[in-house]
Amino acid sequence: MTVDLDLSPGTRSLWAGKAIPWEHLEEEVALLWKMAADNMRIGQNMSVRTSVLNLVICAPSVARARYASDLLRDLLSTHIARVIILIFEDDPDAPASIATWVTLRSFPVISDLTRHHFEQITALLTGPVVQHSAALLQRLVRPDLPIYLWWLDEPPASGDPLGSLAAISQRLIVDSASFQTPGPTLRLLASLLETYPACAISDLNWGRLTPLRQLVAQFFDGLEYRPYFDGIQSIEIEHAVLGTSASGSSADLPSTGISAAGVYPQRLQEPARALLMGGWLKERLTWRRVACSASCPGSGESLPPGAYHWCLENEAGQPTRIDIRPRREGEVPPGTICLLRLTSRLADQQALFSISRLAGDSDHVLTSIELEQEQPRQRTLALNEQHQESQLLVDELEITGHDDQFEKILQELASLLT
């Protein structure tokens, strides 16, 4: 096992704090709070100690753990009481071990005179201990506070130890932008929701879609176009993927490994956002999935990675369809929705509602409404997407109950991807 030099078992870490045997962690936490109180009495600072929730961060590597730790300074408004970072070295051949560190994080609020404090415990688990992380976590959390579980990167296909951790948590937060296999992983999340209904599930990627979903809703807000919503017959979504080199290989593409800073790896294709958008529209339109006929375009085709095709029907029994396709783009991050087109028919009038990215401009989109025998009505709008992961996380931590709409979409996708 390779461990960063600043997180070696038994030694102090610059970001994780003092190495302490896990059975003595609470004693060390109490001592740290006493020292902080003494410092406040000597100085003129005002300490802000808040106790609202336990934030548990599950990381697959030390690099990712440190990345998450660095984000914590942006979460001051969430009133975190204790942060627990679990690092999983899930090698079945590795010896079972637990190494823990503790520190008291302190950041200025408004000015340096007022400081926000919270506890951070970091635990490096190796070997069979990983599968028993839920039992360990129950010893580490503040028992009187809810547990919010943030799982970095893609959960393991087996569902362990995510399932046992979700069983004792009030909220599970993921980011489907990091999923290498979004189909199976979204189905896994839907099964966890069914198995552990007390644990709410949310996705940072769903938050990224909010501005785009608002633009779709604006198409049909007015009385003029509202009837066209029920007449939608097809949904087309194109999402950005990294292209290939001139030779047809991916040799010139950025590495898919995780950088030393712990940022997400760049991926060739990431259709999760397109899947969420398609699931949302299907749910709003109350479409039902049906088997594709032999004459259906795409029914017999071998779809490329990142492409999906479904035949459905609306409440009136009329055929509808959803098509998701990858588009090679080098100017926007993989997963970005480049085109959303809704084709509708009302009586004998066809209408196209589309949202498309502008070439070379990742911050604006072109919205278009095209009716037969009429000039297209187009507008260029700022999308105002939220790219900062920390702000997306803050929004999720402020939700105290279930995000019913997202969880319904998750179930819709599970049925589509089966």
Domain 208-385, classified CATH 3.10.28, yes or no: no
> How does pLDDT run across 371-410, given as a tens digit for each residue?
988 899 999 999 887 778 999 999 999 888 999 999 999 9
What is the pLDDT of the chain when averaged over all its residues? 85
Domain with CATH 3.30.360 in the chain: 208-385
Residue 246: predicted pLDDT: 33
Categorize the per-residue pLDDT at 300 as very low, low, confident or very high, splitting at 50, 70 and 90. low
pLDDT at 124 over 60: yes
pLDDT at 1 over 50: no
Residue 255: predicted pLDDT: 32
pTM: 0.88
Cα–Cα distance measured from residue 97 to residue 99, given in angstroms and rounded to the nearest whole number? 7
> How does pLDDT run across 6-45, given as a tens digit for each residue?
677 778 888 888 999 988 888 888 888 787 776 655 555 5
Summarize the confidence of residues 325-338 as an average pLDDT. Answer: 88
> How does pLDDT run across 161-194, given as a tens digit for each residue?
999 999 999 999 999 999 989 999 999 999 999 9
pLDDT at 85 over 80: yes
Residue 39: predicted pLDDT: 62
Q: Write the secondary structure of the chain as one string of H (helix), E (strand) and C (coil).
A: CCCCCCCCCCCCECCCEEECCHHHHHHHHHHHHHHHHHHHHHCCCEEEECCCEEEEEEECCHHHHHHHHHHHHHHHHHCEEEEEEEEEECCCCCCCEEEEEEEEEEEEECEEEEEEEEEEEEEEEEHHHHHHHHHHHHHHCCCCCCEEEEECCCCCCCCCCHHHHHCCCCEEEECHHHCCCHHHHHHHHHHHHHHCCCCEEEEHHHHHCHHHHHHHHHHCCCCCCHHHHHCEEEEEEEEEECCCCCCCCCCCCCCCCCCCCCCCCCCCECCHHHHHHHHHHHHHHCCEECCCCCCCCCCCCCCCCCCEEEEEECCCCCEEEEEEEEEECCCCCCCCEEEEEEEEEECCEEEEEEEEEECCEEEEEEEEEEECCCCCEEEEEECCCCCCHHHHHHHHHCCCCCCHHHHHHHHHHHHHCC
- Please state, for a pLDDT cut of 70, what percent of the chain lies above it: 84
Both tokens of residue 142?
A: 């503040």
Summarize the confidence of residues 137-154 as an average pLDDT. Answer: 94
